[in-house]
Amino acid sequence: MRLKSFLKSTILVSACVVAASSALAQDKPVLTVYTYNSFTSEWGPGPALEKAFEANCACDLTWVALEDGAALLARLKLEGRNTKADVVLGLDTNLTTEAKTTGLIAPHGADVSALKLPIAWDDADFVPYDWGYFAFVYDSEKLKDPPKSLDELIDGKDAPKVIIQDPRTSTPGLGLVMWLREVYGDKAPEAWAGLKPKILTVTKGWSEAYGLFTQGEAPMVLSYTTSPAYHQIVENSDRYKALVFPEGNYMQVEVAARVEGSAQPDLAKSFLQFLISPEAQKVIPTTNYMYPVRDIGADLPPQFSALPQPEKSLLLSPEDAAAHRDAWTKEWIESVSQ
């Protein structure tokens, strides 16, 4: 019977495939890095970094790609002491305090003296590998007169529609909550109330928001100051521009760390050192579209240097961020649900 033989051959083939893949012998030490999936995709920094690191380490770098930073931390917590991870890469400063409380983070032991960030870096456990400013990005073809300040966006009657992300499911969304809190302090709920009529929709993640924005649903979206660099470099288009506000823009710093109890502590240390080396850092701008953490001189594309820089760089300390995240998210829900 056709079905019988079809079934038989499929089972046979699948069995062979599974057997073959597990039979591949590994004799090099394996460094397992947990990160998020846009990092390891073929358009992200992952492949280039892996190639450069493996060229010198005599090891096998394996990525485990999770959905995003929060998923990363959650998986680490789930696995606890039994985690296979040697390095976690992809948390941001909002999550670092919580990560430390798991007891799974080991001191990085890397030399961070050559780092150049708008803020001083004094964390002994986490190493930054890229950073950026959150910003409202607008479509210059649709919006001829964009708001020049945060106040103008929030209070302006004719302010354009904007797409933002949900702080409960997305790091830019959370970043905006922190941003408004830094600027307006306890008056943040009023600020949100003022912003609410301009919000077209609140999406699950950055991809949905940016997709809707480029589809033309709204003239503004919450993204990064470095987003226009992509369009300039790859699409040769000046259409999308980022707004820097006199009140300041909020930062996002992405970090990596060694995992306590990993089987490859030395390899992990050298990976972190590699991550902040010029060789690795020059991969970052055109793959992750964020700023590198050190001065890479001519390797930084000119479009990046030409990007608008805010006068004030806002960033809550990791402890403050962790302490207030819950309360401020609830406040956000209340203000925007009216």
Which segment (124-132, 176-184, 224-232, 270-278) binds other proteins by CB under 8 A?
224-232
Q: Does 269 bind other proteins (CB under 8 A)?
A: no
Give the one residue of 140, 201, 273, 303 binding other proteins; rule: CB under 8 A.
Answer: 201
Alpha-carbon gap, residue 177 to 36, rounded angstroms = 22
159 contributes a contact to other proteins by CB under 8 A: no
The residue among 203 and 252 lying less far from other proteins, judged by its C-beta, is 203
DSSP codes of every residue in 104-166: -EEP-----TT---SS----SS-EEEEEEEEEEEEETTT-SS--SSHHHHHH-TTPPPEEEE-
| By the rule CB under 8 A, 40 interacts with other proteins | yes
Report the amino acid identity of residue 9. Answer: S
Q: Does 289 bind other proteins (CB under 8 A)?
A: yes
Residue 323 lies near other proteins (rule: CB under 8 A):
no
DSSP 8-class letter at 1 = -
Q: What is the enclosing helix (H) or strand (E) of 41?
A: none
Task: Check binding of 38 to other proteins (CB under 8 A).
Answer: yes
Q: Give CA separation, 160 vs 100, 107, 147, 221, 301, in Å.
A: 41, 46, 8, 10, 31
Among 48, 57, 59, 71, binds other proteins (CB under 8 A): 71
Residue range at the interface with other proteins (CB under 8 A); choices 149-157, 205-213, 253-261, 269-277? 205-213
Alpha-carbon distance of 35 to 72, in angstroms, equals 7
| Minimum CB distance to other proteins, residue 5 (Å) | 12
- Decide if residue 136 touches other proteins (CB under 8 A): no
Q: Between 85 and 115, whose beta carbon lies closer to other proteins? A: 85
